[in-house]
């Protein structure tokens, strides 16, 4: 219930903020040389001449039906294009998060449980990842894999319906660009969480009972260490969902962020509203999943 209320509040704020922005969408569509009569006619056809509360309730009813209206720029339905763009961005994000988690979590565990030189080596790798956002990694891997070695296409997109292998070739580099930075963050959090739990009383008690270090680590410590790691992974999904603009721009990937940028440059208010609602709804859903997973790892967390 709280999640639904959060999305509703966000939707209301987005509607109010968009309509407080100076400028008339009718003038944007028709151009500066439009006559007052043509502008008024377009405003009437778009429903922009109605009171704001009526526009708001009509907009909310449309959202409840997953009807986001039509673009002011090209008059095409927003819903189908939004779904396609969202799928492309989620494809990047979930592949990047999966790769960074499969690499980052084991690296963090190895650093926390290993010897000093192992910890130092993993920490260097994590620091390099933390110091290399997509705006740095993207051009580097584009030059190496796309230009110098010519192993992958440097940018662009191919629908999976045309060629699965071709689609994957275009997908590899933007995924690597997003995964590298997240891998550094996740490995550092994994290391800190495991170190914090491995020094607690229950771990010392388990060792005193005769359990070996690997047994203590995998039977007791890891389960308690996963809560902050899962929380971080979920937050990274949310951050990437709204922060893939540079990656999609560098690799010419037609995802949600580029859709938002195009709408912003055209002052296409319905598209902007739809993208913000979609991103906020997914982010709230991800946080709900994180809370439920935390309850699985920690039985002390009770849910009504």
Q: What is the pTM of this model?
A: 0.84
Could you give all domains of the chain from N- to C-terminal order, each with its CATH number? 2-64 (no CATH), 85-297 (1.10.3720.10)
Please report the DSSP string for 204-236 in residue order: HHHHHTT--HHHHIIIIIHHHHHHHHHHHHHHH
| Whether residue 262 has pLDDT greater than 70 | yes
Mean pLDDT, the chain, as a whole number? 85
E strands, the chain, in order: none
pLDDT tens digits, one per residue of 90-101: 999 999 999 999
| Whether residue 202 has pLDDT greater than 90 | no
Buried b vs exposed e over 22-54: b needs ≥16 C-beta within 10 Å?
eeebbbbbeeeebeeeebeebbeebebeeeeee
């Amino acid at each position: 219930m709280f999640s639904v209320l959060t999305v509703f509040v966000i939707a209301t704020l987005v509607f109010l903020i968009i309509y407080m922005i100076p400028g008339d969408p009718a003038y944007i569509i028709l151009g500066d040389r439009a006559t007052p009569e043509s502008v008024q006619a377009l405003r009437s056809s778009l429903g922009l001449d109605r009171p704001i509360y009526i526009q708001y309730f009509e907009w909310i009813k449309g959202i409840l039906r997953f009807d986001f209206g039509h673009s002011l720029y090209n008059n095409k339905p927003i819903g189908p294009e939004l779904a396609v763009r969202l799928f492309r961005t989620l494809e990047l994000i979930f592949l990047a998060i999966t790769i960074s988690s499969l690499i980052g979590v084991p690296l963090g565990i190895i650093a926390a449980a290993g010897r000093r030189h192992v910890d130092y080596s993993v920490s260097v790798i994590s620091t390099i990842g933390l110091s290399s956002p997509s705006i740095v990694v993207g051009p580097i891997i584009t030059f190496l894999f796309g230009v110098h070695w010519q192993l992958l296409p440097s940018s662009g997109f191919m629908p999976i319906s045309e060629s699965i292998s071709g689609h994957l070739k275009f997908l590899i580099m933007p995924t690597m660009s997003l995964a590298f930075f997240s891998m550094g963050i996740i490995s550092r959090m994994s290391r800190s969480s495991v170190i914090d739990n491995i020094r607690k009383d229950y771990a010392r008690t388990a060792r005193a009972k005769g359990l070996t270090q690997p047994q203590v680590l995998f039977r007791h410590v890891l389960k308690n260490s996963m809560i902050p790691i899962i929380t971080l992974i979920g937050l990274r999904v949310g951050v990437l969902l709204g922060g893939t603009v540079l990656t999609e721009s560098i690799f010419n990937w037609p995802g949600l962020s580029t859709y938002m940028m195009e709408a912003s440059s055209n002052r296409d208010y319905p598209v902007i509203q739809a993208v913000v609602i979609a991103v906020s709804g997914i982010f709230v859903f991800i946080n709900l999943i994180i809370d439920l997973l935390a309850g699985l790892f920690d039985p002390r967390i009770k849910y009504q």
